[in-house]
Structure 1
Amino acid sequence: MGKPLKVGIIGCGAIIAQYLASFRRLGDIQLVAVADLDPARAQAVAEQYEGVRAVSVESLLAADDVELVLNLTIPAAHAEVALKAIGAGKSVYGEKPLAATTGQARKVLDAAREAGVVVGCAPDTVLGTGIQTARKAIDDGLIGAPISASATMVTPGHERWHPNPDFYYQPGGGPLLDMGPYYVTALVTLLGPVVSVIGAASHTRDERTIGSGPRQGEKVPVNIDSHVTGVLVHASGALSTLVMSFDAVKSKSPNIEIHGERGSLVVPDPNHFDGDVQLFALGADAWETLPVSAGYVDAGRGFGIADLVSTPQGTEPRAGGTLAYHVLEVMESVLESAHTGSTVRITSTVGRPQSVELTVLADDVDALQPQEAS
């Protein structure tokens, strides 16, 4: 209707800063309220931004001026908060994953359908120029029919830098459910839905040591698989190999490679919105860096919400709940296969999200500018 979408945020942890940085630039979004189980954290956010109030979770859910709830809670709470927001008649956009399990995620989607509200979910990094330029190269036939892909994420663990890393090592966390959404969402965006998976996993250590912050030196128990490998069979016939690790130190391999009959693509880190896409065409002598040709320019976390605002009513958002559910089922099934030793069929499907034309979506706006110090 030409008015900004009024948003309330539940969860004021570390990731909120990246969303707020985007919201300052997005005229289609107006942040009106923030809430956190720790009221001091919500108050600290509200004090920095004019027109934003710190309230309780209950008050935010009941607020008439909140149209969409941005759910930035820990993964274990994603479904609970989403269902409460939907029950209050609000649309929801959540951090990844959509829920800790597909069972919980299905309840969220079913409740949203019955309530007539919209569900969106991170990651929206796939809407940036990096993944979208690679998508356009594939769609334009630069590599011919895709044959395979590899996606690699290797880090010795988030406890080295995160002051409160506990949730990364509990159910709903781990390298696959934490970082996998970026990679699997990118693979589905590039190559289409997955029909079956095979997985293997290992658990290297029973505890981790926090490396920074006030809890430095404290031990954190590990109750998840900390190194996961999977093979994804796409409906197109392409095969993707996935390696997600909180155990290994470093990888020199590209984040994602796509191989086709007529060429190969190096795709930039799907945890970021931009980056170079490189093509090695059949018969070429060297890699070629492709010009930026698609995606939201200079995007950041929260652009998926702005994209949702512009999505026609009745149409699934690009960073929508159906895609997030499919990605979650793929990841959950990789872990199931790792534990059973059997191939797991994927019961859900999703169309490749509509591509994003090269778009400058946002300029600096006055909304959410930090208050001048008195």
Structure 2
Amino acid sequence: MPDESRRDSITRRRYMRYGGTVAAGGLLAGCTGPESEGNSSVDVETDDDSDYSVEISPVGEVTFEEVPTDVMSYSPQYADMLVALGHDESLNSIGFADYGETLSYFFDPLEGVDFDAEGLTELFSNGSFDKEVLYELDSDVHLMDPAWTSTFDGWSKDDTDEIRDNVGPWFANRYSRQHASPPEEWAADYQFYTIWELTEKVAQVFQEEERFAALQEVYDDMYGTIRANLPPANERPTVGLVTYYDDQFHPYRITGPGFGKAHVRPLEARDAFADSNKTYAENYEAAYDFEGMLEVDPDVILHNFAVTPFYDWGEITDTLEDHPLGQKLTAIQNDRFYASGQSFQGPIQTLLQLEMTAKQLYPDQFGEWPRYEPGDSYPDFDEDERLFDHERVEEIVAGEL
């Protein structure tokens, strides 16, 4: 832990002023505006008319004097947001360097849209991350949920308060990913957001509301196109979303809440695990062996996180295709076992992953998805094969609004 002289030597963040009594308890459990029941307005004293405030659960209201230019981010969805909003050069760190490889997979076909993790401080080390690193980074803002941070080894709520007071504010919301329960001391008024609501809040921090609105318009157009062209419900495939490791299938519900399912839920396929008590949300430790998976036998199997460096897709496909029961799975026999994306998705990944999953589930309606091989990048589809305007996203990232 840094000593008192170290703390005193750190410049107080020039914009970091909380609204005094603002805390998670003053936030509304919902997604409505400031007039809503249970959400009290808070007066924040400022010294300059240029000051602005943004509120997010579980942090409360944060006041900034100017746009942050030195930013800590742990999870890739916030790095994605910074790229989308044109502020990725302000990033000083990320949880895992490998997150950069996944972002590059998705961004590669988009001209001028890229992410370079080289030179960024890798935060995770030896099962946690060191508070001293945050003092050394001396960030203007920490795009990490303090409720989640407090669950890391060696961390507590007092530690997150210390960083807030001595370095800079936290600004993120982790548990919206699957609407999981946050730690008890944060739970009472914890609010859940969609990925677009979270992106809008980050856009407000960086004063990029116009860019955000343009990006959401692209999403809304694609969402409408997809919804208008879905096949009848009784013609949709059964879909199993899983991860495979230790000779077992670990299932997720595709209909579950949270932005982690933003690429599958809108497609309204039939959830192979809808009635299962072994899904990630129901029982994290539960799983299906090959016999159990064959009993479920989804028409389509999506492997979560398969395009990330955290899984060996080549080894997984070889294992299933060579296994005497795995090769009997309908999805294996029909070549409908797909490498899927990740739940830690920001706005650009959500656009691409929804396009990807629509093609994987409904090729007759939206076009075929090519087989993924390790080392591949996201396909560079011809314009008439795209489900959203890729060039418009390139323009938005470049600031051409």
Q: Please report the TM-score for the alignment, with normalisation by the length of structure 2.
A: 0.33
Which is greater in Rg?
Answer: 2
Higher helix proportion: 2
Question: Which is bigger in relative contact order (C-alpha 8 A, separation at least 6)?
Answer: 1
